[in-house]
């Protein structure tokens, strides 16, 4: 079923395990840099991205199928990586948003489409902070750009992945006495489902929803139901890592793998951060850092696949 008001071919229902390293403001903070960056600082950030990319490529030699995996990187420090990965036939995801912003804005302003055309990725990706009960003015601003990106992607043969983070409002946290775990388990699942419905109502139509992980299958099922509502039968859901501990991410991945409609994951800092810190402190070489990244990506791939 595909109602005529939905984009043709909407959805992605194949397995997709993503290594995301599109962080920008986070990488700058990691290295102690501040805007505006010098050319040498930009080169250092690009070098760190290339280490993660080397780890991704090495993971494919360890047993992760190319067709079930993907890399997500920005075009600010990772344009060459995206172009190289595209040429090698990897699934690529290209970021479009301003890093660290309170709402969705295009990284390249009015010129954003030309940057996508430089790469022609498998997916265009947008991260947005969006709590349906908080900052409704910013939510409305975000929906304008997200609708534009959604329409563009579907009109030009790109898949569209959205990463909506649902940060707790002050009132929500206060109601739970500041307990962030209670927020994750008691409030965030329903807020995530409502957010999906609200975005769909604004004609934002991603092929994949990349959501913060859930601690049980019922919560995942609630989100999947919202994602697939109204004839969106092939739309997929994946879980992100949020720089959580291995133990938390493993629970999220295992619960997701048990839920029909959850097709994969996107785990970044939990995989690569320690390796980059070891390289930064000169404890490890680039090759050692890449080895660690490859093996950790394989570990979480195996967790999701019950191996």
Domain ranges of the chain: 16-304
Q: What b/e sequence results for 253-282 when a residue is b if at least 16 CB atoms lie within 10 Å of its CB, and e otherwise? A: bebbbebebbbbbbbbbbbbbebbeebeee
pLDDT at residue 245 in the model: 97
pLDDT at residue 30 in the model: 85
Q: Would you write out the chain's pLDDT as a tens digit for each of its 307 residues?
A: 556 699 999 999 999 999 999 999 988 998 889 999 999 999 999 999 999 999 999 999 999 999 999 999 999 999 999 999 999 999 999 999 999 999 999 999 999 999 999 999 999 999 999 999 999 999 999 999 999 999 999 999 999 999 999 999 999 999 999 999 999 999 999 999 999 999 999 999 999 999 999 999 999 999 999 999 999 999 999 999 999 999 999 999 999 999 999 999 999 999 999 999 999 999 999 999 999 999 999 999 999 999 9
* pTM attached to this predicted model: 0.97
* Cβ neighbours around 84 below 10 Å, total: 15
DSSP symbol at 306: T
Could you tell me if 205 and 160 are in contact, meaning their C-beta atoms sit under 8 angstroms apart? yes
Could you tell me if 52 and 19 are in contact, meaning their C-beta atoms sit under 8 angstroms apart? yes
Could you tell me if 242 and 212 are in contact, meaning their C-beta atoms sit under 8 angstroms apart? yes
CB burial class (10 A; 0-12, 13-18, 19+) of residue 72? buried
pLDDT at residue 22 in the model: 97
Calpha distance 200→261 (Å, rounded): 17
CA atoms within 13 A on the CB side of 158: 25
Long-range contact set of residues 102-106: C-beta below 8 Å, sequence gap at least 24: 102/129, 102/135, 102/138, 103/128, 103/129, 103/135, 103/138, 103/139, 103/141, 103/142, 104/128, 104/141, 104/142, 104/145, 104/146, 105/145, 106/145, 106/149
Could you tell me if 209 and 235 are in contact, meaning their C-beta atoms sit under 8 angstroms apart? yes
pLDDT at residue 4 in the model: 66
Listed residue (103, 232, 130) closest to 191, CA to CA: 130
Evaluated on CA atoms 102, 108, 109, 110, the torsion sign reads: negative
Could you tell me if 262 and 239 are in contact, meaning their C-beta atoms sit under 8 angstroms apart? yes
SS3 of residue 73 by DSSP: strand
pLDDT at residue 2 in the model: 56
Could you tell me if 9 and 207 are in contact, meaning their C-beta atoms sit under 8 angstroms apart? no
pLDDT at residue 233 in the model: 97
The CATH number given to 16-304 is 3.20.20.70
DSSP string, 111-143: GHHHHHHHH--SEEEEEEE--TTS-HHHHHHHH
């Amino acid at each position: 079923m595909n109602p005529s008001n939905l984009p043709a071919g909407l959805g992605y229902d194949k397995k997709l395990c993503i290594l995301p390293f599109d962080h920008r403001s986070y990488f700058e903070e990691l290295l102690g840099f501040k805007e505006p960056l010098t050319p040498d600082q930009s080169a250092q950030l690009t070098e760190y991205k290339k280490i993660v990319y080397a780890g991704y490529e090495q993971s494919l030699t360890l047993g992760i199928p190319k067709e079930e995996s993907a890399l997500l990187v920005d075009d600010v420090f990772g344009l060459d990586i995206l172009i190289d990965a595209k040429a090698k036939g990897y699934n690529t995801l290209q970021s479009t948003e301003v890093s660290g912003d309170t709402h969705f804005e295009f990284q390249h302003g009015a010129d954003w489409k030309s940057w996508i055309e430089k790469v022609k990725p498998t997916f265009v990706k947008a991260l947005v902070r969006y709590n349906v009960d908080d900052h409704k003015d910013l939510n409305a601003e975000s929906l304008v750009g997200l609708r534009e990106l959604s329409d563009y992607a579907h009109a030009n043969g790109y898949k569209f992945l959205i990463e909506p983070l649902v940060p707790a409002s002050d009132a929500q946290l206060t109601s739970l006495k500041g307990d962030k775990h209670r927020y994750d388990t008691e409030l965030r699942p329903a807020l995530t489902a409502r957010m999906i419905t609200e975005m769909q109502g604004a004609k934002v139509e991603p092929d994949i929803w990349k959501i913060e992980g859930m601690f049980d299958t019922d919560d995942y099922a609630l989100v999947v139901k919202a994602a697939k509502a109204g004839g969106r039968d092939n739309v997929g859901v994946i879980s992100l890592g949020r720089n959580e501990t291995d133990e938390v991410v493993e629970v999220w991945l295992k619960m997701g793998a048990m839920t029909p409609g959850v097709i994969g994951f996107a785990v970044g800092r939990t995989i690569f951060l320690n390796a980059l810190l070891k390289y930064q402190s000169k404890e490890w070489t680039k090759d050692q850092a890449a080895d660690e990244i490859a093996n950790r990506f394989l570990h979480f791939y195996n967790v999701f696949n019950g191996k």
